[in-house]
Amino acid sequence: MLCGFIASYTHQGRIGVLVEIQAVSLIIFEMPEVQKFVEDLRLHIASRSPTDVGELLEQPFVTDETATVGETLAELREFIKAPLEIARFVRWDTEPPEHRVGDDGPEPAPPYAAQLKVVS
């Protein structure tokens, strides 16, 4: 049975992320390699806005565009010799979609009321 660990991140008081990672023991989360992965994963979710865990795993990882999040997770599992799973996450953005500006103009997003979404 896996136990869960929840990590959080806020960006400029505007974007919030909660992500649940599961492992066989809480001791796994004390490993520096796992802590670094979780830290980078929170930043990735905040910056790339994945819609679900499946999409998240397929995205190029924000810290190394040559590998996906899933590939990086698989390498970490192999290194620590233990199961490690991204169970679910939530990304909260306080700014309405019509006020967000990306590289290509306003980014598409669901209606403002739907911005808080638990993804598993």
**Two tokens at 28?**
């796994």
Alpha-carbon distance 36 to 62, whole Å? 13
Q: Which domain holds residue 11?
A: 3-119
**Residue 61 in 3-state DSSP?**
strand
Name the token pair of 34.
Answer: 């796992």
Predicted local distance difference test score (pLDDT) of residue 95: 77
Q: Report the C-alpha gap between 43 and 73 in whole angstroms.
A: 15
Answer whether 28's CB lies under 8 Å from 39's CB. no
Q: What is the pLDDT of residue 102?
A: 54
Q: What is the pLDDT of residue 94?
A: 86
Count of structural domains, the chain: 1
- The CATH number of residue 11's host domain is 3.30.479.20
* pLDDT averaged over 10-residue windows placed end to end, the chain, 120 residues: 92 93 95 97 95 96 96 98 96 74 50 49
pLDDT at 8 (0 to 100) = 96
The token pair that represents 77 in the structure block: 């599992």
